[in-house]
Amino acid sequence: MATAAEREATRVEPVPVPGCGVCLALDSDRKIAWDVGNLAAVAVQNAELRNHPHRQGTA
C-alpha cells in the first residue's frame, strides 16, 4: 500500500552517480525493492539517492 507521496517519489527516479559506491548500493537496493514491489522502500532509496551529496562544480 503506497501513499501518494510514495507514488510521487517513485515516479521520477534519480540516477546514481557513476563511481559513487553509496549511489550504487542505493541503486541496487532500489532494484530489489522494485522486484518485491515495495514502493515504500523504493521511495526511500530514491530520496537517499536524490539527497546524496556530491562535490559538483569544483573542477
Give the span between the Cα atoms of 38 and 40, in whole angstroms.
5
Nearest CB to Zn ion, comparing residues 20 and 40? 20
Q: What angle do CA 44, 21, 26 make, to 5 degrees?
A: 15
By CB under 5 A, residue 22 contacts Zn ion: yes
By CB under 5 A, residue 29 contacts Zn ion: no
Give the span between the Cα atoms of 7 and 17, in whole angstroms.
23
In the numeric block, which cell numbers belong to residue 30? 532500489
By CB under 5 A, residue 20 contacts Zn ion: yes
Contact range with Zn ion by CB under 5 A, out of 1-9, 28-36, 37-45, 46-54:
46-54
Query: Which residue ranges make up the site for Zn ion (CB under 5 A)?
Result: 17, 20, 22-23, 52
